[in-house]
Structure 1
Amino acid sequence: MNTKEIFAKALAHATGKDIDIVRKSISLTKDIEHGILSSNIAFVLSKELKKSPQAIAEELSSFITLEGIEGKLTAINGYINLSISDEQLFSIDEIPKKDMSAIVEGPSVNPNKPWHLGHLRNALLCMSIGNILREAGYSVIAMDYVNDLGLQVAQSYWHYKKSFKDSGEKFDHAIGKDYVKAAELFNDKEVEEEVRKLMKDIEAGNDKGLRDFVELVYKAQRETAYSYGITHTYAVFESDVVEGILKKGLEKLSTMEGIYKADRGDYKGCYVVNVEDVISGLERPERVLIRSDGIPTYLGKDIVFHMWKIGKLCCLGFHNFEMQPNNKPLLATPGELPYNVAEKPLVINIIGAEQNLPQQVVKSILIKLSLVEPSQYRHVSYGRVRKEGGTFSGRKGTWMGFTADELLKEGMARVEKGDKEKIALAAIKFSFLRASTRKEIVFDWDKALSLEGASGVYLLYSLVRAKRILSKVSTEPLPSSNLNKEEKELMAHIWRYPYYVENAATSLEPNTITEYLLKLSTLFNKFYEKHRVIGEEEEAKRVAIVSSFIKAMEKGLSLLGIEPVEEM
């Protein structure tokens, strides 16, 4: 049973409006005293019927019947509000399955350094958005793009071949520090010539060691990912894209409607796409995909990659790279295992705000070429993680002391008792995910570990408190149709869980879930402070309330990748 759907169908039948229009008119009420769901459909009808929204709302509320729920409709300030019985608040709506898949891509860290806090933010957003979409009924592919080509990786590989000494340090950390040295040495002309020659040898197939080097770094980065509970479905290496599908993709691009070969001007001989009819305000709406010498631009390679990613280009396969802690294999290119993607997947690229314009251009080209619909491509733009004095640079080494590995180690050292790793992870994950994606973050340990403020630790404490109550009773939970004010406020918020999930899946903002959980915890503590559970006449009802709270809190925390603890 889905209450919103029953409400929507009843309104659509009564008004004759399309069901999708009616669904969009329905939202959660701000005050549960006025019901749990509200529709503004009367405002939509007002101009058409030449009546006030309140008059329309009153008329509709008087005769609409709701099948499958004990509901009451009331007209308040032009809105049609739905109230349900107290007992029905114990029956949470199921989230309907979507006949759609989503591809969530990130963090895509260059394989020549460890994850710093900016990379961690990206990875946690990928994980949480993926979890939210799965809960919202999507089939989710988690994809990591490994840029194993380019100058940064070549500089690191050159330094590794020339002077690497194994000190026992985690490999990605050691290579990251060597990269800082290599980038500085690159200012020397002789060193630059050596690196450029190495890049040519790699491109010509005369140096076979780069892939082994890259995989050593990537496996060390995976250790960091697994320590934070982050897993992926696929890892796609850029070198495999170039070798496996780039030529075929460029040939296909050059023949597509919307792409033309310029015959004059600066772009003469280049394959170009003009996106001014899709994106406005660009100084130069013409974008080069293939240069006159046949070499693709970075944008051209990105378009080819997206063509493959959405299933419009064949064939790049996978092999079993390694088994992950979730007992599912990480599949990496290349190989014989097929890439399985549904038709018209939702593409979600989680990339920093500095890439807003390039992402807008990629989307506009894909739309121009009829490869995606506008709603099918989403860029989750996020603000940087800052430290005092600035941001993080791999080349300058300003990430040192601020890696994801070091953050977790420090967190565990700060936790005084209980499961130190789980509590530290809860503090870190909640702190990173609570901020709106567009806001920059300055991490604060005191706030992250607070038992009284808005923190993951506070949520875990509320959950432990609730479980401790249930451990002391043997009474079976019994839903009730007679709830007092605090009980009803708590149960109404628990009941709203699937609607917060749907809203988070639409907005791609994990902080929708963090705010839901904070309010849930606050309402539970308010209820517990006013009403005893054990030994009361209403014990069975209150056991049902506490049980419902635990289920909702555990499900919500799982969307943030936070595991419950037994004690604190």
Structure 2
Amino acid sequence: MDKVRKSINKIINEYLDQEIETIFTRPEPEFGDLSTNIALQLAKKLNKNPKQIANDLAELLSKELSGIILKVSVAGPGFINIVLVDDILLDQLRADVPATDRSEQVVIIETNNPNPFKAMHVGHAYNSIMSDTIANLIENSGKQVHRVSYHGDVGTHVGKSMYSLLKYVDGNPDKLNDIKPSERNSFMSKMYSDGAKAYNNDEYTKNKIVELAKQSFTRDDPIYQQVYEMCKQWSFDQIDDILKRIGSKPVERKFLESEANDEGVAIVKANVPDVFTESDGALVFQGSKHGSFDNVFVSKQGIGLYGARDLGLIKLKDQYCHPQKSYIVTAEEQRDYFKGVIAAAELCMPRFKDITVNIPTGMVKLSTGKMSSRTGDVVEISWLFDQIAAAIVDRGGTPNDLFIAGVLRYQFLKVRVGGDVIFDINEAVSIEGNSGPYLQYAHARASSILSKANNIPSSISNIETSERMLVVKLTEYQDVILRSTNELLPHLICTYLYELSQEFNRFYEKNRVIGDSRQNQRLFLVRKYANTLKNGLHLLGIFAPDKM
């Protein structure tokens, strides 16, 4: 359909003798397949009556694109309505593979970044689902995608958790063996929360936690080392398990802050005073000159902070796969921080210019408000799993991880990247309205219709009026996938699939399929619809069931 629009747009531009992007919308069925108000937009600029412009364009389009356009009409003050030739729609319908870039570009994307020594919370799951879906879109376009993760295994947050953990074991690390695997996520959440609160209680405790944070780099105390390694492994086991439960693909490489630290510190020190300046012994990047804020990359004690480690990570990623693009999906509140990191990286290592891209997301809000990791008061993802499962049971359903992942992913992905997600559990599990279960049920319903047929044709040669709107909507799939991929906006697919399922419902209410004289043609449309739903849901990482 994109090629059709471009052909029409080309004729309009030739008439106007200027480049202008014509926006097309879908009119009511009785008016046609495409509509544009370009004549109304240009009337003042051309000093002409909009209806006259519309009539001129209608005549020109009918003449020049007779193989594409069946009919052009002008309505109201100057709306141009276009009916396409059936064969054009049918050609679009037969094209199974979306038109995509297909370049051989190498892309790396961080798809799972929760830190060990904390419980994985809802915000972590949101960013993981969003980045995993963006990776799906990029991969679908033919690019070589490397899914990786980056985890903070050193630093202040480790010190906070270790403060509580060392108090808990009281010199006997074997006490940790009493914690059941099913309780470890909540246990680690409590340890971090207690440590975070203790950090703010008094100066003595704060200094003790600072020392424990420094020790995360050296780990020269045997008890510290044993507790650290055991709890870090617990954390990664939990992270990997939750990654499966939310339907995200596994990562191929885990990068750690501890390995990025030395690389980053070396980069910073090598770029003093050209990029970094010394201030009270610390090395500072003047990010305020680059749309960010002034930020300490290396402390006066010579320890690399977040910025230095992120510089080291950029270098490690390059050593790993030499990416042409590197995507990092983070919360909106880190936008300015990453502006500074990216600016510093490009000044220190010009060969990495325009490679790293930060994609900021909004917040996830529940009834308790947004989740905070710094205070330790978080909504664990395991809690949300349980709430979704309970809501499914309340509606007479049987919860499993595939369906829970579908609920979670769709509720996150249907919101435009950067917008806040207001997570309503009852809305999320409903089989009515714009939800994951609604689309899963829609696919199961179509599969049920297809199961009653013996033979389904591989193509059709004509369209009836009552089938036309479904056909037109089906032909939009390629354009939606292309735009969603180019702009990295998964919500466009969600919106399209929901609108498509509504269009199918209208079609099915008016048209008998099995036993009708047009059974074969309509079975083809039902199968095309089911496959389109399945492919779209697959890109979103959502299971499309044949039965529900």
Quickly name the TM-score band, shorter chain normalised: 0.7 to 0.9
Looking at structure 2, the residues matched to 474 and 506 of structure 1 have their Cα atoms a distance apart, in angstroms, of 40
Cα 1:87–1:506 change in 2 (3 A) is closer
Partner of 1:61: 61
Deviations 1:2-42 (A, max 9, x none): x535764797699799xxx97x9366533375445979799
How far residue 161 of structure 1 moved from its aligned partner, in angstroms, is 3.9
How far residue 431 of structure 1 moved from its aligned partner, in angstroms, is 1.9
Letter in 1 for 2:153: D
Matched, 1:440 2:415: no
Letter in 1 for 2:321: N
Partner of 1:198: 212
Could you tell me which of 169, 172, 186 is aligned with 2:185?
172
Partner of 1:141: 146
Q: Comparing 209-218 with 48-57, which one deviates more in the overlay?
A: 48-57
Could you tell me which of 86, 90, 93 is aligned with 1:87?
90
Looking at structure 1, the residues matched to 166 and 537 of structure 2 have their Cα atoms a distance apart, in angstroms, of 45
Q: SS at 1:235's partner residue?
A: strand
Cα 1:222–1:307 change in 2 (3 A) is same
Matching of residues 305-384 of structure 1 within 5 Å: 305-309=313-317, 311=318, 315=319, 339-342=320-323, 344-345=324-325, 347-366=326-345, 370=350, 377-384=357-364
- Give yes or no for contact 1:73–1:83 (8 Å, CA) kept in 2: yes
Cα 1:73–1:214 change in 2 (3 A) is farther
Partner of 1:321: none
Looking at structure 1, the residues matched to 347 and 60 of structure 2 have their Cα atoms a distance apart, in angstroms, of 44
Matching of residues 39-50 of structure 1 within 5 Å: none
Matching of residues 492-507 of structure 1 within 5 Å: 492-507=472-487
Partner of 1:128: 133
Could you tell me which of 307, 321, 327 is aligned with 1:299?
307
Percent sequence identity is: 19
How far residue 120 of structure 1 moved from its aligned partner, in angstroms, is 1.9
How far residue 184 of structure 1 moved from its aligned partner, in angstroms, is 3.8
- Give yes or no for contact 1:40–1:80 (8 Å, CA) kept in 2: no
Structure 2: any 5+ residue segments left out of the alignment?
170-175
Partner of 1:328: none
Cα 1:16–1:57 change in 2 (3 A) is closer
Matched, 1:429 2:409: yes
Matched, 1:222 2:240: yes
How far residue 508 of structure 1 moved from its aligned partner, in angstroms, is 2.7
RMSD of aligned residue pairs (Cα, Å) = 4.0
Letter in 2 for 1:167: I
Looking at structure 2, the residues matched to 553 and 147 of structure 1 have their Cα atoms a distance apart, in angstroms, of 38
Looking at structure 2, the residues matched to 47 and 439 of structure 1 have their Cα atoms a distance apart, in angstroms, of 36
How far residue 141 of structure 1 moved from its aligned partner, in angstroms, is 2.6
Deviations 1:272-311 (A, max 9, x none): 45663x53xx7xx6555456775545333323423443x2
Deviations 1:255-283 (A, max 9, x none): 86xx2646xxx67984645663x53xx7x
- Give yes or no for contact 1:43–1:78 (8 Å, CA) kept in 2: no
Q: Comparing 51-60 with 209-218, which one deviates more in the overlay?
A: 51-60
Looking at structure 2, the residues matched to 128 and 404 of structure 1 have their Cα atoms a distance apart, in angstroms, of 20
Cα 1:161–1:271 change in 2 (3 A) is closer
Cα 1:8–1:51 change in 2 (3 A) is farther
**Larger helix proportion of the pair:** 2
Length, aligned pairs only: 520
How far residue 138 of structure 1 moved from its aligned partner, in angstroms, is 3.4
Q: SS at 2:247's partner residue?
A: coil
How far residue 416 of structure 1 moved from its aligned partner, in angstroms, is 2.5
- Give yes or no for contact 2:2–2:479 (8 Å, CA) kept in 1: no
Letter in 1 for 2:246: Y
Matched, 1:536 2:516: yes
How far residue 218 of structure 1 moved from its aligned partner, in angstroms, is 1.3
Structure 1: any 5+ residue segments left out of the alignment?
316-338
Letter in 1 for 2:308: G
Letter in 1 for 2:98: E
How far residue 351 of structure 1 moved from its aligned partner, in angstroms, is 1.3
Q: SS at 1:351's partner residue?
A: strand
Letter in 2 for 1:87: L
Cα 1:82–1:105 change in 2 (3 A) is farther
How far residue 539 of structure 1 moved from its aligned partner, in angstroms, is 0.5
Cα 1:137–1:40 change in 2 (3 A) is farther
Q: SS at 1:25's partner residue?
A: coil
How far residue 113 of structure 1 moved from its aligned partner, in angstroms, is 2.4
Deviations 1:205-264 (A, max 9, x none): 514443443122111121111111112233211111114x224433554486xx2646xx
